[in-house]
Structure 1
Amino acid sequence: MPLGRVIEEPVPLAAGRVSLRVVRPRDAEPLRQLLVNNRGWLQRWEATHPSGRSVVPGSTSMRPTIRLYRKQLKAGSGVPFVVLFDNTVVGQLSISELSGGALQSSQIGYWISEHVAGQGIAPTAVALAMDYVFTVLGLHRVEICIRPENTASLRVVEKLGMRSEGRRNAYIHIDGDWRDHECFVALREEGPMLARLERGGGSRV
């Protein structure tokens, strides 16, 4: 296992009207409907397969994907959350690329529905997840990789005061081509992240 141990299913994490909980089978249809409703909002940022054989998000049931996510939790390789606003599912957040040993690192990826954008949901959700990574999983480092055109996500890492470590060229296949990404990092000793966000963060990008 990447961490050398099983990850216990975390209790829900909450701050105000925003919360995270591990994805469940009952989330399949709400998530599928959000993906359908947000095609225009999300398509530019969605991962695709270089072969062109990608499945359009929302076009099939989410149940097999959710089963895979939950297997990753049991295997210690990832922690899959849904993002809730006022107890309603409005997006997803995943902690992935978990590494133990000498690296002690992870990555976070996320999306929220357009209809709730601009209300501080994404920065709060990311801060909750990062504090979980640092305090519960005990890891040292979190990375978030963002396309340079994604101004909304760049604003999230700016609010959290994350540090830029530069561009990764042709890093991930997104929306039909290999896309550059900017890498932003926070370390455990720089937290807690939710408190930093509430203080106003501070731009370090």
Structure 2
Amino acid sequence: MLPDGYTLRPLSLGDSAALAHAALRNREHLRPWEPARPETFFTADGQLEVVRGRLHQVELGLYDCWLLWHDDTVVGAANLQNIVRGAMQGADVGYWVDHQHLRRGLAVAALEHLVQRGNALGLHRLGASTMVANLPSQAVLRRCGFIECGRIPQFLHLDGDWRDSLLFNLVLHDGPPRG
């Protein structure tokens, strides 16, 4: 459950300016955990391009994108990404919280929302990866019932180098594929 004053809303085309402000405000906070970004990423036009791409993936059923708002300010995001149907019925989770809004239970609430969305979409499992050094994210995943299930050496190029990642998994149900 989100604390008072916070809401999660689906991503929309009009969110690009607020996302640009959030990206710029959190540039250093998120830098260790994200790929290198071009300067345009931190502008409203650059975010408009990102939003259009994500909304296209939503239309294709590959993404489920949510923004965390505090009043009229974007302070985080929560996504189901790489949604796969067929025999897998799974997705990966992704989330972040603004550096000025940490330690309020927002990441846990956002991830709990993604688990609910995964169930609503009929998914069987959710996966996540975190850099080995990202202990706060690992704690959020564990608190939400995700189980560490492996390590991939040199999995992602982040913060200027190939980084190992820990993998986490959450099985949502044991029944046959839905939908």
Q: After TM superposition, is the score higher than 0.5?
A: yes
Give the structure-1-normalised TM-score: 0.77
How many corresponding residue pairs? Answer: 171
- Distance in structure 1 (CA, Å) of the matches to 2:61 and 2:94: 17
Distance 1:87 1:60 in 2: 16
Residue 27 of structure 1 corresponds to 15
Q: 1:36 aligns with which of 24, 49, 54?
A: 24
Q: Residue 103 in 1 paired to residue 88 in 2?
A: yes
Deviation (angstroms), 1:59: 4.4
After TM superposition, give the deviation of residue 161 of structure 1 in Å: 2.5
Q: How high is the TM-score relative to the length of structure 2?
A: 0.87
Report if aligned partners of 2:153, 2:165 keep a CA contact under 8 Å in 1: yes
Offset of residue 96 of structure 1: 0.8
Whichever residue aligns with residue 108 of structure 2, its letter is: P
Structure 1, unaligned runs of 5 or more? 1-13, 49-53, 191-205
The CA RMSD measured in Å over matched residues stands at: 1.9
Deviation of 1:160 after TM superposition, in Å, equals: 1.2
Note the alpha carbon deviations across 1:6-41, whole angstroms, 9 max, x for none: xxxxxxxx7453432211122111111111111221
Indicate conservation of the 8 Å contact 2:156/2:164, yes or no.
yes
| 1:140-151 equivalence runs, <5 A | 140-151=124-135
In structure 2, the residue matched to 1:65 is 50
State the Cα distance separating 1:166 from its structure 2 match. 1.2
- Code of the aligned partner of 1:142: L
**Equivalent residue letter for 2:33:** W
Q: Say yes or no: does 1:154 pair with 2:142.
A: no
Q: List runs of 5+ in structure 2 lacking aligned partners.
A: 175-179
Identity %: 26
Measure the CA separation in 1 of the matches of 2:3 and 2:26.
25
Q: Is the 8 A contact 1:144 1:183 kept in 2?
A: yes
For 1:165 and 1:22, how far apart are their aligned partners in 2?
A: 30
- Structure-1 residue corresponding to 2:167: 183
For 1:55, the equivalent position in structure 2 comes to: 38
What code does the residue aligned with 1:29 have?
A: A
Give me the whole-angstrom Cα distance separating, in 2, the residues matched to 1:88 and 1:98: 28
**Structure 2 Cα separation of the partners of residues 173 and 73 of structure 1:** 25
